[in-house]
Chains A and B, each alone.
Chain A
């Protein structure tokens, strides 16, 4: 079994806010991240798939195919967007790095694990890592 990882970057804005809480509690828990005008990051998305190298091509997955899937399923929705305001999965959940990792998994899992085209090569999604800054990242490995 070989694990293969592809990176992509996207830039997006967000803020953290829980409507069920007072403004004071939001400020206390989320600090500067609660500023209502939002702020932004250059995110790095890491997608790890696993599989056996194809006997003919030597590929676990066609990297161009994987790049296209990541662009279509995730970057098209997140890049240069306001995550709270423009992506439905964050209408009722904070776009924390943790939740972005889970949401990216939900977008990619059917597209990768359910793919029947040759480019997929039978590879399965194993891990999503989202870097909010070079020092902060979240990881999701699906339901254990």
Chain B
């Protein structure tokens, strides 16, 4: 029987939205205050939803400790209390929350062989969130 298990994690990180291909004026027009020279930060919430068969012996879809370890090693250690612009993944990509969501999804995609990564949702503030899923 297939079910889904979700877990929410929090990271605090800084970023600045600035596209190298745009002029100073264009960056200001597109990104507004998110383009301010010294960047700013958010408390991001990263929601990870995995799907799989419920193990008959344990009643669980996934070992929570293994999920925490995978997310910890691949995501939290990398992005928490970091400047996203300095991460190699964002050398050529603007660290918008859309791109962060996609990066997190790609980093976790094969992390847990026994379950399928259903979606990653990144909440930048209480009012903004972005989702990547296997459904494209």
- A residues at B contact (CB < 8 Å): 16, 18, 20-21, 29-31, 93-99, 101-102, 129, 134-141, 143-144
Contact = CB atoms under 8 A, between A and B. Distances in A.
Interface string B45-89: 000010000100111110011000000000000000000000000
Nearest to A133: B8
Contacts of B59: 16, 93-96, 98-99
Interface size class of B (residues with CB under 8 A): 10 to 19
A139 B49 contact: yes
A58 to B, nearest CB: 26
A98 B8 contact: no
A138 B2 CA distance: 11
A98 to B, nearest CB: 5
A140 B4 CA distance: 6
A98 B3 contact: yes
Closest 7 CB pairs of A and B: A94-B59, A139-B4, A96-B59, A135-B8, A137-B6, A98-B3, A99-B59
A104 to B, nearest CB: 11
